[in-house]
Structure 1
Amino acid sequence: MEHDNGRHRMTDEEIETAQLGAAQQVNGQVALSAYDPRWPAVFEREAALIGARFAEGAGASGFRLEHVGSTSVPGLPAKPVIDMLLIVPDPADEASYVPALAALGYEVAVREPDWFEHRCLRKRDLDPSAGSANLHVLPVGCPENDRMLLFRDRLRTHPGDRELYAETKRELALREWKYTQNYADAKTEVVEEILARAART
């Protein structure tokens, strides 16, 4: 699990508690890849599959799916993991969407009931360009939805902020981390700086 957010830095215990099963440890540097132009197509493929399942009545109604995270920003280095945001009425109502996603190979990997009922589903063996996908599920009206999309759109349209974030990622990736979430939390200061600029425009 990794998500840049506006809350406190997660402790090891909080990271381990949120994970279903043993939390995967990095215990070293974070491997970043150069931007791959195939990533948007991978998202579109997954979005079409998910949309088809939900249209069949096999999953959540009134859902919204967005490509988020670094793979959604052309030119930005990233871990080769496609991050997606699924907005549903109630993430805690897993019966309304998990079966449809499970049929496509997604498994619930993270539950955080104390943080907007956040769920993260993971799909492995995704594509030659991206080994896996993280599907973050949050509720309609959640402020974190707006933050994710504002940050993505800011980086897409402002080269200076995109390069600042890229350099921050490269520098932090060279350090040693126990969990990937520790690396994500270390980016909080620059994320908030960029979001503050975005909010003023």
Structure 2
Amino acid sequence: MSETIDLHSADPRWPLQFESERDLILPCFPTSPRLIEHMGSTAIPGLAAKPIIDIIVLVEDLTAAAAAIPALEALGYRYWAANPDKTKYYLAKGLPPAPRRTHHLHIHDDADEVRRHLMFRDHLRAHPEVRDAYLALKQELAQRFRDDREAYSRHKTEFIDALVLSLGGPARKVAWDR
């Protein structure tokens, strides 16, 4: 997928943008999610990122959570029905014709997969030296794969997986197959 990687300096408004969006999406779910968290680079103070707020939602039953999709689409999210990762629902807000993507929504019913993401986020929050190593990798990858978002993400995933496994976290269940 061709899309320019443009990293922005850390913005202290990102957590507030998450909180505002969380309050909007929560009523869309027919039953309260077990957890809604801010994840990804915008959730880590001091880390440059693409200015897209990643939100992870843990639900009891993924199939039942499908009932939330029409309400989320009414808020401007677009559901990616062709997502090859069938272990979650993925939605994005701000796709064309909007000027830019603003939010990614990842809906899971697998607590281990959610735990992986939160372990990584929390470790980088607590260890600035690891955050800075990840930042250096992101900057190098953003230059190397400037117009290839999938390659950029795939190479970051190697770092993330290695760190989570070193912390005793669960292995990724879905491998990159592209």
Q: Which runs of 5+ in 1 are unaligned?
A: 1-23
What secondary structure is seen at the aligned counterpart in 1 of 2:132?
Answer: helix
- Aligned to 2:9, which of 34, 37, 44? 34
Aligned length: 164
Are the counterparts in 1 of residues 2 and 149 from structure 2 also a CA contact under 8 Å? yes
Q: Does 1:25 align with 2:11?
A: no
Identify the residue that residue 104 of structure 2 maps to in structure 1.
Answer: 134
1:1-201 alignment runs, 5 A limit:
24-26=1-3, 30-51=5-26, 53-54=27-28, 59-63=29-33, 64-93=35-64, 95-112=66-83, 115-116=86-87, 118-124=88-94, 131-141=101-111, 143-176=112-145, 179-199=148-168
Hey, what's the Cα distance between the residues in 2 that align with 1:92 and 1:113?
Answer: 16
Hey, what's the Cα distance between the residues in 1 that align with 2:81 and 2:134?
Answer: 26
State the 1:124 CA deviation: 1.3
State the 1:187 CA deviation: 1.6
Q: Which runs of 5+ in 2 are unaligned?
A: 170-178
What secondary structure is seen at the aligned counterpart in 1 of 2:42?
Answer: helix
Residue deviations 1:19-76 (CA, integer Å, cap 9, x gap): xxxxx522xx52111101111110000011122x24xxxx231302110000000000
TM, length-normalised to structure 1: 0.72
Supply the AA of the counterpart residue of 1:184.
Answer: S
| Structure that is richer in strand per residue | 1
What secondary structure is seen at the aligned counterpart in 2 of 1:193?
Answer: helix
Are the counterparts in 2 of residues 71 and 78 from structure 1 also a CA contact under 8 Å? yes
Hey, what's the Cα distance between the residues in 1 that align with 2:90 and 2:63?
Answer: 12
TM, length-normalised to structure 2: 0.81
CA root-mean-square deviation: 2.3
Whose RCO is larger (CA < 8 A, sep 6+)? 1
Tell me the percent identity: 37
